[in-house]
Structure 1
Amino acid sequence: MKENRTYYKKKAYIILLFITIILGFQSLYEYYKIKIDDPIQLLSAVLYGIIKLFLFAPPISPGDNTTIFYELAKWLAPILTSTFVFTKISTTLLHLKNIVFNKISGNHILVFENSFIGETLINNLLNEKNSYKISLISKKFIDDNLKSKYEKKGIATYQLDFENSDINEIKEVFSALNINNAKYMFFCSENDLENYAIYTNIIKRIKPKRHIGCYIKCESKTVSSYIEDMISLERKNEEKLKRIDTIHFDQTDLTVRMLMSDKCVMQSISSNIDKLSDIGERISVDIIDKHIRKMHILIIGINELTITLLKHISNDMTICLKDNTKVSIIDTDAATRMRELLYNNEGLKKSLDIEVMDLGFGKNAINEYLRNIKNDDDLSIIFLMNEDVVRSLKNLKLLDRYFESVPKLIRNISNVDLSYILPKNHEKIRIFGDVSQIMTGDVMIRESLDNRAKQFNESYNKASMAAGMGEGQKWNELSYVKKNSSRLSASHDRIKEEIVRKVFFSKTEEEIVDYLNKKFEEFSDLQNNRKENPEKFKQEFCKYLEEAPLLDFLSRLEHKRWCNSYYAMNFKYGEKKDENLKTHPCLIDDWDIIKGEKFEICHPEYDLLSVFTLFQKEE
């Protein structure tokens, strides 16, 4: 009842209005029919009298005799008018208040377009701990009830159509928004080209005074490339646009990103490296690698999430040096469907050990495959991805016979709550598929991840200067591919941190940080000699890694992860680095070649830098 208060208020006003008009009509008709004979004049007098009732001007003198119906109408009409007028005034005052508070806030967020995902994002952000101030700017009409609802929540709403508004109108809205000081902008239209058009109109008009993160919903790779080309071109004319950071998102990517951060997934990865605690003092690269169990993922169901999930697995679940993560994919006609999906994603065959199994139509077809998997090795995680959640629930019962303790993530797009039918071991089961799960600050904004990525880029630039290769590029000057690469590296930090914790199980986190700081100082001393004698630096760096086997392992793991992430982006080995042709000279799997003949090209010290960004506290 409370959630539908506005609805019932509206119904009550309509009923009272209807009653007031009837009472007014009946009472005024009875009053005027004695004095007016002409039916047209009589009707006109009655209707005019009703209008006067609502305008605080009673049509009948207080001294005249009237019926109880007139007295009721005389009081109800101005009350209803007052309610309407005061509602408008109240909404206007709330809007002015929201403009002022949003304008001076350092956490001001702009959401463009009143779409389903935009509304979901706003509602989620309002419920989070961060005290965001939000403004909604929509091309489409926002009805008064929704506007009033938003304004009461502190959300300033505006209607602005860039194509049909004059320059002064746009300037006035931009001034009210204080757009140059916004923290984040979200472009949430359902149409990619609309988001491109709105983003372009804004970029051509603003001069940011701070770093602004622009999150653009864009499923089309072609439109994404046009967005990046446009911002690159505009930055040449306006230096301040280098403060703009664009992030493209779509529902598929956000969903998979959320899954990769799920507690069940992280616990599963952690269980694969538990044996590292048994190493003791006898640490070497080979021993560390032998104590890590290869990841094995089972995916049941092929659909639009499959390729994106495989790409994230390529990066986030790289934990072994010698073996790629194994992925078993089961579905009807799986071989043909996966052949089509991998046709434009050949790189995934190099970054993952993919096993495709066609599921027949027999009643016990899946049983045979599950028994084979059970006999091969232990599963790490199971993704039940069928759009038909009933099929997934049926498979869940079967899976629990073989893999009861294995985490299972079930896709549910039916909008039906499944919690009441889950088995007893439901703590190992996650349900996903609701848009509200992904339109959150943690999944969308991922501020801590970006901070880590920026730290890595800063460390990279410092090392580049020490190597005599120039200052490097600042974060917002990087290409979209390089930004994405840094983010992928940052998302893998949690795996590296878990490995460090397991190997140094007897150390506190403070002791681990002290160790890394000490090793970083030693590395910095080596860097100081790089310009004068590159060959000597190469020898000393290789010796440095040999004497620190954990750092050596993590550097190799970072290079393998980097290769896997670039393979997943369809890059291939090439003598020249070219993001358009998707070639890179460092896509070499053999670490000995990287730190040998390709040392000066591939700079293995950059892989080590990712280790020194671990356990960093956010400022």
Structure 2
Amino acid sequence: MKENKTYYKKKIYFVLFAMTLVFGFQSLYEYYSVSIENPFLRLSNVLFGILKMFLFTPPISPDDSPGIIYEIAKWMAPILTSAFVFTKISNTLLHLKNIVINKFSRNHILIFEKSLMSETLITNLMNEKTPYKISLISRQFIDDNLKAKYEKKGIATYQIDFEKSGKNEIRELLNTVNINKVKYMFFCSEADLVNYALYANVIKRIKPKRNITCYVKCESKTVSSYIEDVITRAREEAEVLKKIDTVHFDQRDLTVRMLMSDKCVLKSLKSSLNDLSQMDNMISLEKIGESIRNMHILILGVNELTEVLLKHIANDMTLCLKANTKVSIMDKAADSKMAAILDKNEGLKNALNLKAIDIGSSRNSLQEGLTKIKNEGDLSLIFMMDEDVVKSLKYLKTLTGYFGSLPKIIRNVSNIDLSYVLPKNSDNILVFGDVSQIMTSDIMIRESLDERAKTFNDSYNKAVEMSGMGSGSSWNELSYVKRTSSRLSATHARVKEEILRKIFFDNSDDEIRNYLSKKFEEFGALQDIMQQDWEEFKIRFRGYLSDNPILDFLSRLEHKRWCNSYYAMNFVYGENKDENLKTHPCLIDDWDIIIGDKFDICHPEYDLLSVFTLFKTEK
């Protein structure tokens, strides 16, 4: 009943309104039929009398009341009018209150367009600890009941079509929401081109007073490039737009991002590093490498999520210096399906150790494939990505028999609760598929991750300046590829931090942080030499890494991760950096070349800088 309160309220209002009209018409018609013989005049007076009742003016003198039916109508009409008027006044005052509070909030968020994603995002943000203030701007009609529901929750709602509205109307709206001081903007239309048009309309009218991040839903790479062109051209005309950071997202990317941060994935990742705790005090580069077990991931089902998942695995699960993460992919016609994916993104072949396993309709083909994988003895994690939930549940029993409590991730697009059919001990099983799981601040906004990425960029800029190569670029001036690369580096930080936790298993995070701070001070002395004698710096830097095998390993691992992430973005080796042609001169897997002949071009010291940003305390 509580969920349908608005529905029943509307029904009650309608019934009372109908009763009032019927009672009023019947009583007034009988009253005027005595004194007015002309049917047209009689009907006119009846209708006019009904109208007067709703306007708080009884059409008949109290002394001439025609009966109880009239008295009921006489009282009901002004009561219904009052309820309508007071509701409108209440909603208007509530909207004005939300406007004022949101306008001056430091955590004000603008959400453009009403859609499933925006509604889910609003619901999730309202339930989080951070006191976000939200304004919803939509070109679609917003039902009065929905608008009232939002306003009661503190969400100011506006309806405007930028393409059809005048300049003054748009300017008034943007001033009302104080758009120059909002914290985030989300463009959540289902259509990429609508988001592009909205983004372009906003960008050409905004003069930000603070750094603002714009999250634009966009599945098309072509439309994404046009969005980047919009902000690039706009910055040439207005330097203040350098305060705008734009992030593109789509449901597939957010879904995989959510999966990669789940405890099941983290548990399997940590288990690959357990042997690091068994090393003795004589730590060396070789011992660290030998103590890390490379991950082997099984994916059942090739579909629209596969390519995105492989890209994230290439970056997030890079653990070994010499071997790529192993991924076995099982499905009917897996070879041909994977060939179609790799035709579009050949770089994945360089970033991952891929193996496609065809399974037919017979049970034996599945069992034969699983037996081969089990005999290899190195499986870490299972993704069950098929849209057919019944098939996945069928596979689950078979997989549990082969791989016991190994972490398993199951896709469920049926909106049916599977908790009743899962094994009792299902801590190692993640079920995903609901959009509400991804439209959260942890997955969508990732504020702490962005802070880490920006910290790395600041360190990078300082190193660039000290080496005499210029002043570097601020975060928002970076190209979209470079910002993405920094974010990917920040995502991989959890792997490096876990490696350090395993090596220093008897030390706290604070003690590891102090260790890194001490090593950073030592590196600072090398940076002083960098300004005076570049050749001497290179010699000293190589010696510094040789004397610190932990830092040496993590620097090499960062370069390996960077190569994998660029391979996954379909970059190839080229003598010149060119983001349009997707070439880069540092896409070289051999670290000895990077730290040797290519030192001047590839600057391996930047890989080390990412290590010094680990364990940073969040602001």
After TM superposition, the score normalised by the length of structure 2 is 0.99
Contact 2:555–2:608 (8 Å) recurs in 1: yes
Per-residue deviation at 1:614?
A: 0.3
Equivalent position SS for 1:135: strand
Contact 2:125–2:132 (8 Å) recurs in 1: yes
Per-residue deviation at 1:390?
A: 0.8
Q: Are positions 1:211 and 2:211 aligned together? A: yes
Matches within 5 A, 1:257-406: 257-406=257-406
* Counterparts of 1:133 and 1:330, CA distance in 2: 46
Q: Which string of whole-angstrom CA distances, capped at 9 and with x for unpartnered residues, describes residues 428-479 of structure 1?
A: 1111111111111111111011000000000001111111111100000000
Per-residue deviation at 1:19?
A: 1.5
Per-residue deviation at 1:49?
A: 1.6
Identity of aligned residues (%): 67
Aligned amino acid, residue 465 of structure 2:
M
Per-residue deviation at 1:363?
A: 3.0
Q: Are positions 1:484 and 2:484 aligned together? A: yes
Equivalent position SS for 2:357: strand
Cross-structure match for 1:191: 191
Aligned amino acid, residue 360 of structure 1:
G
* Counterparts of 1:34 and 1:404, CA distance in 2: 91
Aligned amino acid, residue 281 of structure 2:
E
Cross-structure match for 1:13: 13
Contact 2:65–2:71 (8 Å) recurs in 1: no
Per-residue deviation at 1:222?
A: 0.4
Cross-structure match for 2:442: 442
Cross-structure match for 2:36: 36
Matches within 5 A, 1:211-610: 211-610=211-610
Aligned amino acid, residue 29 of structure 2:
Y
373-382 vs 521-530, greater mean Cα deviation = 373-382
Extract structure 1 runs of 4+ deviating beyond 3 A.
none
494-503 vs 281-290, greater mean Cα deviation = 281-290
Equivalent position SS for 1:122: helix
Equivalent position SS for 2:319: coil
Equivalent position SS for 2:37: coil
Cross-structure match for 2:52: 52
Equivalent position SS for 1:298: strand
Per-residue deviation at 1:66?
A: 2.5
Equivalent position SS for 1:34: helix
Matches within 5 A, 1:78-97: 78-97=78-97
Equivalent position SS for 2:530: coil
Aligned amino acid, residue 259 of structure 1:
L
Per-residue deviation at 1:89?
A: 0.8
Per-residue deviation at 1:361?
A: 1.3
Equivalent position SS for 1:33: helix
Matches within 5 A, 1:140-219: 140-219=140-219
* Counterparts of 2:403 and 2:198, CA distance in 1: 49
* Counterparts of 2:363 and 2:239, CA distance in 1: 65
Equivalent position SS for 1:410: strand
* Counterparts of 1:15 and 1:446, CA distance in 2: 50
* Counterparts of 1:479 and 1:65, CA distance in 2: 80
Aligned amino acid, residue 242 of structure 1:
K
* Counterparts of 2:5 and 2:279, CA distance in 1: 63
Q: Are positions 1:125 and 2:125 aligned together? A: yes
399-408 vs 249-258, greater mean Cα deviation = 399-408
Equivalent position SS for 1:426: coil
Equivalent position SS for 1:419: coil
Q: Which string of whole-angstrom CA distances, capped at 9 and with x for unpartnered residues, describes residues 282-341 of structure 1?
A: 211111111111101111011100000000000000011111111110111111111011
Q: Which string of whole-angstrom CA distances, capped at 9 and with x for unpartnered residues, describes residues 554-576 of structure 1?
A: 00000000000000001111111
Equivalent position SS for 1:129: coil
45-54 vs 606-615, greater mean Cα deviation = 45-54
* Counterparts of 1:14 and 1:367, CA distance in 2: 63
* Counterparts of 1:147 and 1:250, CA distance in 2: 26
* Counterparts of 1:145 and 1:317, CA distance in 2: 47
Unpaired segments of 5 or more residues in structure 2?
none
Unpaired segments of 5 or more residues in structure 1?
none
Per-residue deviation at 1:377?
A: 1.9
Aligned amino acid, residue 178 of structure 1:
N
Aligned amino acid, residue 205 of structure 2:
R
Per-residue deviation at 1:364?
A: 2.9
Aligned amino acid, residue 481 of structure 2:
V
Equivalent position SS for 1:530: helix
* Counterparts of 1:423 and 1:75, CA distance in 2: 63
298-307 vs 530-539, greater mean Cα deviation = 530-539
* Counterparts of 1:451 and 1:527, CA distance in 2: 24
Equivalent position SS for 1:59: coil
Equivalent position SS for 1:137: strand
Equivalent position SS for 2:524: helix
Per-residue deviation at 1:32?
A: 1.9
Equivalent position SS for 2:430: strand
Q: Which string of whole-angstrom CA distances, capped at 9 and with x for unpartnered residues, describes residues 41-87 of structure 1?
A: 22222222211111111111111132221111111111111111111
Per-residue deviation at 1:280?
A: 2.3
Per-residue deviation at 1:493?
A: 0.3
Compute the RMSD of aligned alpha carbons.
0.9
* Counterparts of 2:250 and 2:512, CA distance in 1: 38
Q: Which string of whole-angstrom CA distances, capped at 9 and with x for unpartnered residues, describes residues 231-284 of structure 1?
A: 111101101000000000000000000001111111110011011000021211
* Counterparts of 2:496 and 2:555, CA distance in 1: 10
* Counterparts of 1:28 and 1:422, CA distance in 2: 68
* Counterparts of 2:96 and 2:344, CA distance in 1: 52
